[in-house]
Each structure stands twice: as C-alpha cells, then as structure tokens.
Amino acid sequence: MKIVTLKIDDKEIKTEEGTTILEAAKRAGVEIPTLCYLEGLEPYGACRVCSVEIERRGRSRIVAACCYPAEEGLKVVTRSPKIDKIRKTIIELAGVMAGEDVAGETRALASEYHADLSRFRARVSMEPTKCILCGICVRRCIEATWDSAIGFIGRGVNRRVVLYPERAGTCAICNYCQRVCPTGRISSTGPDPPFPHVDDVLSGRK
C-alpha cells in the first residue's frame, strides 16, 4: 500500500493511500466532530458536520472529512471561523427536526459550537420528531440482518425511519440502534421497537 504525506492543522501525517481524512486525523489525535459516522460502518456523508477546508493545487474547497480520501501533499484545516460558522449553522438546521431537548452527541456539539437549536423553530412550526435522519440505526440494522427491520421511506422533507411490520419479527433485540443514536430518539428496543409504523407514516398520521 502506498504511503502518502498530508498536513492536518500544520501537523505532518503519514498514512496509507485511500484512508479518509477523518481516520487519518483520528490516528494523529486531531478531533473532527461527526454525527452520522460510526467506526466499522461505511461512511455515509449525510450530516456534513465533519466539513473541513482542503487546499489542493492552489484551489481550496470544503469537503466532508469522512469521505475524502487522503492524497499526497494535501493541506487540511479543521477549525477556522468559516468552518465554525458552517458547523454552527448545520447544527441549528438539524435542530429543526431534533427539537430542544436532545441527548447525546447532538447536545455536546450544540454547546461546543454555541448553536441555538431553536433559532429556526420560530419560523418553521412543526412538531420535532427528534430524528435527524443520520441513518446510523438503519445501517447498523442492515449489517446485523441483511433484510433489516427498519429503513427509510419517502424523499426530501417527508423522509422518515420506519419499522416494517413484515420484518418486525426479526428484531433481534440486539440494542445496536439504541446505543448509537446521536439524539437519543430510540428510547428502548425490544419486542415493540419505538419506530413509527409504515402504515402510519404513509397515510400521514405521523
């Protein structure tokens, strides 16, 4: 495997070609916040909280650190006023669906970046579902059982995570989804997982 050298926050780091910036930074001790990333699962790139600024061949742009592969001579900046503002706005936007009282990773990030989770609540009056659609629970369930018990339906703002009644019997009560939820939405697992039912969501009751 070819070894490449890149610079993260002025630190020179050597890593194998093909590892992502996030993994390389973690090994070097640089912390990049994430919401939809879990060690062992394929990176999804949905939350965009891990956005960092890279400079390559004289051009700089903002990319997601969990998906961008390391290259020779890359210069990465993980904290700066511009990146902080972007992360703060993303967390505030996530607050529209997450609501005020979230637990877990989202709360920690909100206090670190001084994000006001109710900034856009005043404009968009909707019942918070406490789910930011990061997809970790779905991907975990697919890893555990190929024909998973939960999944996404819908598109855009109507996207939800639901339980399929045909597969509810395979819920192995493995607690995987509860452990990794970043907002604390999944309060319990067990014979009746607390996900909205497909019928309810499709007919608009939820």
Partner 1 sequence: METVKCISSPEDLEKLRQEIIAKREPSKPSVSVCVSTGCVALGAWRVMEAFKAELDKQGLKDEVEIKETGCLGFCEQGPRVTVYPQEICYLKVKPEDVPEIVSKTILEKQIVERLLYTDRATGGTAQKLEDIPFYKYQLRLLLEDNAKIDPKNIEDYIALGGYCALAKSLFEMTPERVIEEIKKANLRGRGGGGFPTGLKWETTRNALGEPKYVIVNCDQGDPGAFMDRSLMEGNPHSVLEGLIIGGYAIGAHEGFVYVREEYPIAVESISTAIRQAEEYGLLGENIMGSGFNFRVKVHRGAGAFVSGESSALMTAIEGKVGEPRPKYVHTAVKGIWDKPSCLNNDKTWATVPLIILRGGQWFRRIGTEGSSGTMIFSLVGKVNNTGLVEVPMGITLRDLIYKIGGGIRGGKRFKAVQTGGPSGGLIPEEYLDLPVDFDELTKVGSMMGSGGMVVMDEDICMVDTARYFVDFLLEESCGKCIPCREGLRVLSKILNDVCEGKGKDEDVQTTEDIAETMREASLCALGQTAANPVLTSLKYFRDEWEQHIRDKRCSARVCKALINYYIDPEKCQACLFCLRECPVGAVQGGKDQVHWVDQEKCVKCGTCYEVCNFDAVKKLSGEPIPPHPPKGMKPVRKGK
Partner 2 sequence: MELECQHCNYKWDYLGDNEYYATCPRCRYKVKIPKDKASVLRRKKLDQELKRRFPMEKRPGKLFGIAGIVNKVMEDYLYDESMLIQILLRLQRNFGWLPREMLSEVSKQLVVPVSQVYQVATFYKAFSIAPRGRHLVRVCMGTSCKVRGAPIVLDNLQRLMNVERGETTPDNRFSLETVNCLGCCALGPMMTVDGEYHGGVKLPNVKNILSKYG
- Binding mask 185-204 toward partner 2 (x if CB under 8 A, else -) reads -------------x---xx-
Site for partner 1 in 2-61 (CB under 8 A): 45-49, 51
- 142 makes contact with partner 1 (CB under 8 A): no
Of the candidate spans 3-11, 117-125, 142-150, 182-190, the one that interacts with partner 1 by CB under 8 A turns out to be 117-125
Interatomic CA distance for residues 7 and 169, integer angstroms: 49
- 113 makes contact with partner 1 (CB under 8 A): no
Site for partner 1 in 69-88 (CB under 8 A): 69, 85-86
Nearest alpha carbon to residue 94 among 195, 198, 185: 185
- Minimum distance, C-beta of residue 149 to partner 2, in the bound complex (Å): 8
Distances (CA, A) of 148 to 33, 138, 151, 177: 28, 8, 7, 12
Of the candidate spans 31-39, 41-49, 152-160, 177-185, the one that interacts with partner 2 by CB under 8 A turns out to be 152-160
183 and 106 Cβ atoms separated by less than 8 Å:
yes
Residues 6+ apart with CB under 8 A from 131: 97, 98, 160, 161, 183, 185
- 41 makes contact with partner 2 (CB under 8 A): no
Reduce the secondary structure of 108-170 to three states and give it as a string: HHHHHCCCCCCCCCCCCCCCCCCCCCCCHHHHHHHHHCCCCCEEEECCHHHCEEEECHHHHHH
**Can you give the binding site for partner 2, defined by CB under 8 A?**
138, 142, 145-148, 150-155, 164, 166-167, 198, 202-203
**Can you give the binding site for partner 1, defined by CB under 8 A?**
45-49, 51, 62-64, 67-69, 85-86, 89-90, 93-94, 96-97, 120, 123-124, 132-133, 154-159
